[in-house]
Amino acid sequence: MTNKSDISSATAKFSVVVPAAGIGKRMQSDCPKQYLKIDDVCIIEHTIKRLLSHPQINQVIVALAEHDAVFKLLPIASDPRVINVVGGKERSDSVLAGLQHVNDAKWVLVHDAARPCITHQDIDRLITFCIANEQGAILATPVRDTMKRTTNTSEIQHTENRDNLWHAQTPQMFNHRQLQTCLTAAIKNNVSITDEASAIEASGAKSFVVEGREDNIKITRPSDLNLAAFILEQQKETSCV
């Protein structure tokens, strides 16, 4: 039997905020990493197309650097479901700017511009969890490698217990108003915010992890471009979107 939460999670429409005002220093490129290309298509285009191909996503709000002159030239920029706004210096500033343009919805998702390999399967799993439990959550994968804690000089101090340790991913999905309030408070109090969940954590509110796929990689370093290209091709061949 299908309960009400199943019905709402399957039919609701959502907005996604994509912070894209950073320059991606670790990519060792003069071009912001979201505009590097895979198969002649910019990374951010791959990402937005993948998001908009999901039947429950009807709006993507992209927060750009103030003087970004590239995005408006991309074919995806003319899609009426895509809105671009001016972001800020920090990720939290950009997300907050995007949230101000979200339609009047209870829930909102935030996704990295440099994660083009996100699948519908993972988005479905995240949406279903949040609506069924009335709690915000993030996609994440469990830590499998041995984790070392070092000093500033790279000397190993000790091995971390990896039980209950997770690699945070995106999308991250939270109550729209709650996230807006928590980000505003964090910025006001100079709290370091590395992702949306950290703003929720700083407020003392609960948030959860939903296990996602390991191929939902974030393109951070030059070698990640080839890996992302391989993953996208594999997903296409296996119809895994």
Q: Distance (Å, rounded) from C-alpha 196 to C-alpha 186?
A: 11
Return all residues near 188 (Cβ < 8 A) that are at least 6 apart: none
Q: What distance in Å separates the CA atoms of residue 208 and residue 227, rounded to the nearest whole number?
A: 28
Which pLDDT does position 1 carry in this prediction? 39
Using alpha carbons, select from 125, 119, 11 the residue that is nearest to residue 58: 11
Q: b/e per residue, 10-27, with b = 16+ CB within 10 A?
A: eeeebbbbbbbbbebeeb
> CA-to-CA distance for 18 and 62, rounded, in angstroms?
5
Q: Which domains does the chain have, with CATH numbers?
A: 4-232 (3.90.550.10)
Indicate the pTM of the whole model.
0.92
Q: What is the pLDDT of residue 8?
A: 58
Residue type at position 136: G
Closest-CA residue to 196 (of 102, 92, 118, 85) = 92
Contacts of 37 (CB under 8 A, 6+ apart): 43
What is the DSSP track for 100-145? Answer: TTS-S-SEEEE--TT-TT--HHHHHHHHHHHHHHT--EEEEEE--S
- Side-chain half-sphere exposure of 218, counting CA atoms within 13 A: 14
- For residues 150 and 156, is the Cβ–Cβ distance under 8 A? yes
Residue 23 confidence (pLDDT): 67
pLDDT at 224: 95
Question: What separation in angstroms does the CA of 173 have from each of 26, 106, 124, 198, 220?
Answer: 27, 11, 12, 12, 22
pLDDT at 29: 58
Strands in 137-142's sheet, in edge-to-edge order, are 82-86, 57-64, 14-20, 107-110, 166-175, 137-142, 208-211
Tell me, what's the pLDDT at 2?
Answer: 41
User: Using one digit for the tens of pLDDT, what is the confidence trace for 185-232?
Assistant: 999 999 999 999 999 999 999 999 999 999 999 999 989 999 999 999
Low-confidence ranges of the chain (pLDDT < 70): 1-9, 23-30
Question: Would you call 214 helix, strand, or coil by DSSP?
Answer: coil
